[in-house]
Amino acid sequence: MLRRYLLKRLVVAIPSLIIASLIVFTLPRLLPGDAVQLMLEEKAYGKDVDDLRHKLGLDRPIYIQYFAWVGNVLRGNLGESLWTKRTVTEELGMRLPITLLLGGLAIGFAIVIAIPIGVLSAVRADTMRDYVARSVAIVGLSVPSFWIATLVIVLPAIWWGWTPHLGFTEFSKAPVAHVLQFILPALILGIASAAGIMRLTRAMLLEVLRQDYVRTAWAKGLREGVVVLKHSLKNAVIPVVTILGIQLAQIFSGTVIIESIFQLPGMGRFLFDAILQRDYPVIQGINLLVVSIIVLMNLLVDLLYAVLDPRIRYS
């Protein structure tokens, strides 16, 4: 049964990936005709318009361009950055670990903060504590990360004359400082996700707590800790797993801003720079990589969902 579910899920994921690749491929080609001319004048990417068109692969029929591009991508060739002249694969290889660490820490922080608060909020529903937690969660969803990051840089400098370190420390030079520099950005990055996860945990746990088997557990005289944590929470966090995929996309959006503010040389900042410099091979490469990671993560999440909750496999 699990195998059939897996197959079904794969069949759905593949068209998504193909359509996503089409979107990634089409975006730079929506450029108005004279934009190539503009790029040429602005940055002198090539010798002349024809040379640049050739470099961007714009001089061939569109479907040949697409298949050539997909063929290259499948062989791990994402083209060459117009700006740094290095291959896109090489550039991404340097930056991916930084963003993965940042994003991983962010989602880790979000889960560690959100689930206990969500549980407390559901167990003590409609008390003062619950209202405070829910309001704080909505505030967390409303406050822009770049504002918090700005305040974290500005305010401590005024109050205590301390500023968080901006810039990047290599792992090889100072391993501890390398990891520590991610903590503050990751915390800020995780706030919005934490708020979303907390709200969902609360809602799901409330639903589970109303079910008959939980009442049975209470009736057996089990302690609150056992009923909530052992019987209820297990079922309540299953749907929470499914939104991790969405949270991941959100967190990657956040890295574009946070990496720029904290001057971390990750993929988010690289994408932003590439967009300012109209470096299309890089934009394409990053978009494709990010979408593939997210589609894959969603697939994994769905599989995990099916493993955790056998009911899903049969529906």
Contact segment (CB under 8 A) with other proteins among 66-74, 85-93, 131-139, 174-182 equals 131-139
Q: Is 93 in the site for other proteins (CB under 8 A)?
A: no
135 is an interface residue for other proteins by CB under 8 A: yes
- What CA–CA distances, in Å, run from 49 to 73, 80, 281, 303? 25, 18, 17, 48
Instruction: Tell me which residue of 305, 274, 218, 310 sits closest to 88, measured CA to CA.
Output: 274
CB of 138: closest distance to other proteins in angstroms?
A: 5
- Under the binding rule (CB under 8 A), the answer on residue 229 touching other proteins is no
Binding status of residue 183 toward other proteins by CB under 8 A: no
Alpha carbons 297 and 289: distance in angstroms, whole number: 12
Whole-angstrom distance, CA of residue 178 vs CA of residue 169: 5
Residue type at 37 in one-letter notation: Q
Q: In whole angstroms, what is the distance from residue 170 CA to residue 66 CA?
A: 38
Under rule CB under 8 A, residue 184 binds other proteins: no
Asked if 185 and 264 count as a contact pair (C-beta separation under 8 A), the reply is yes
Q: Quick one: which of 272, 308, 309, 312 contacts other proteins (CB under 8 A)?
A: 272
Q: Is 257 in the site for other proteins (CB under 8 A)?
A: yes
Asked if residue 125 binds other proteins (CB under 8 A), the reply is: yes
225 part of the interface to other proteins, by CB under 8 A: no
286 touching other proteins, by CB under 8 A: yes
d(CA 185, CA 175): 17
Member of 72, 150, 216, 263 binding other proteins (CB under 8 A): 150
- Distances in Å between the Cα of 99 and the Cα atoms of 40, 60, 146, 172, 264 are 31, 35, 17, 17, 9
Provide the binding-site residues for other proteins, judged by CB under 8 A.
12, 15-17, 19-20, 22-23, 27-28, 30-31, 125-126, 135, 138-139, 141-144, 146-147, 150-151, 153-155, 157-158, 163, 206, 249-250, 252-254, 256-257, 260, 271-272, 275, 278, 283, 286-287, 290-291, 294-295, 298
